[in-house]
Amino acid sequence: MICERCSAGGDLSDVWTVGMGSSSLAYNPSFWDDDGQQHDHDINYHSQDYRCSNGHSWTFRHRLGCPAPGCSHEAVMESVFHDDYLDTEGIVR
């Protein structure tokens, strides 16, 4: 794992995991469409929280996509950076 903000600024940093979780809002069971293709539209997200040695913190979230060819329910992978920024003295800026 590399901190995207540090990398974009040309900086190096160590990265630690600081938490994890998943949403279990709902699960739509598999179904077969009129062409006989099986679909699986899981809308739940799984997440992992990170913090780097330069004070950036973010959550990496992902959702599984449907394995049926051509299905529009695509996988999602994204890093969401938090607004807080800890400087080297441990002060939130």
Contact between 50 and 57 under an 8 Å Cβ cutoff? The reply is yes
CA 52 to chain centre: 16
pLDDT tens profile 15-35? 999 977 777 776 777 899 999
Indicate if the pLDDT at residue 10 is higher than 70. Answer: yes
Instruction: Provide the pLDDT for residue 30.
Output: 87
Q: Which residue has the higher pLDDT, 27 or 78?
A: 78
Instruction: Provide the pLDDT for residue 44.
Output: 86
Q: Where are the alpha helices (DSSP H) in the chain?
A: 4-8
- Any idea what DSSP says for residue 29? P
Domain ranges of the chain: 4-81
Structure tokens at 79: 């890093």
- Collapsing DSSP states into helix, strand and coil, what is residue 39? strand
Instruction: Provide the pLDDT for residue 43.
Output: 85
Over the chain, what is the mean pLDDT? Answer: 85
